[in-house]
Structure 1
């Protein structure tokens, strides 16, 4: 599915756009993906299309950066993604942030494909998002992502070690 630049409206359109972004990243060999959401509950992370794209995309020199307030919903709602994450732990970095770290605003959800695109969820209630392939839009979104990333802490480990 091709995605056109501009505003996306509706949950189904947002989910389709996310899927298309994962597929594009796999096809074009994007070096880094950045995903940001409060909990990733409504993302299609366990869909066969997304997991297939992630399998194609994941190579040792690539990096997937996840940023969320918590990962419990993701663990509960996306068991296939959690399994994929265990297998590809060497390319995944996951961090948690505090909601007050968003004092400067920022998107309610974000997917960045380094050098390819930015998909920003602007209103989670109405499912309004903006997709862009412009370098300036990606840079602005990356700055927001990096600002919160720097204040976050490691989270969502691939396995739980017991004593």
Structure 2
């Protein structure tokens, strides 16, 4: 098997408008961000249930990415669906707690007053911004500093108002 066939296929920038294309673009964007992303990845979704977070190739790529100086910022309104649907990711999260910050946000905080707000975001600074508008519509920008700056400002504002959530383990008495 050649190395080319195992490398993530770089997604095409633009807009997709079908559930299958959105899932494909999301998987490609996540793989690319894990393989080529820098020190930081930022993900936002209501619950991450429809994301391909149980994908073995993605988890392997994230494991290689998860060095101590890196950070994966997660923001969700509810992590319970993620726990139920993606037990492999939850296990990965336990092993890589050192790189993860997770917050719960109020959905009202994600609404942009001046323009439409995406339902989900994948931000890999210097590489890509993917916005999930609906389950059947998404947009992707590659190496677009303006789009990245706007997405980063929006994400940071939500993160600042979020509360710590999605602990790597639950302690009980």
Q: Aligning the two structures, in what range does the TM-score lie when normalised by the shorter sequence?
A: over 0.9
Is 1:110 aligned to residue 121 of structure 2? yes
Show CA shifts across 1:93-131 (max 9, x none): 00001122234252101000011100001123xx21110
Point out where structure 1 has 5 or more consecutive residues left out of the alignment.
Answer: none
Name the counterpart of 2:21. Answer: 13
Secondary structure of 2:53's aligned partner: coil
Name the counterpart of 2:140. Answer: 131
Name the counterpart of 2:103. Answer: 95
Name the counterpart of 1:151. Answer: 161
1:82 to 83, 90, 93: 90
Deviation at 1:29, TM superposition (A): 4.2
Point out where structure 2 has 5 or more consecutive residues left out of the alignment.
Answer: 1-8
Structure 1 runs of 4+ aligned residues shifted over 3 Å read: none
Q: TM-score, normalised by structure 2?
A: 0.88
For residues 13 and 103 of structure 1, do their structure 2 counterparts lie closer, same or farther at Cα, with a shift above 3 Å needed? closer
Distance of 1:34 and 1:157 partners within structure 2:
17
Distance of 1:35 and 1:96 partners within structure 2:
12
Name the counterpart of 1:119. Answer: 130
Deviation at 1:72, TM superposition (A): 0.2
Name the counterpart of 2:78. Answer: 70
1:162 to 156, 167, 172: 172
Root-mean-square deviation (CA, aligned residues, Å) is: 1.3
Deviation at 1:18, TM superposition (A): 2.0
Distance of 1:123 and 1:26 partners within structure 2:
23
Aligned pair count reads 161
Distance of 2:162 and 2:104 partners within structure 1:
5
Bigger shift: residues 98-107 or 148-157 = 98-107
Contact 2:34 2:58 in 1 (8 A): no
Q: Point out the structure with max Rg over C-alpha.
A: 2
Contact 2:37 2:124 in 1 (8 A): no
Contact 1:19 1:49 in 2 (8 A): no
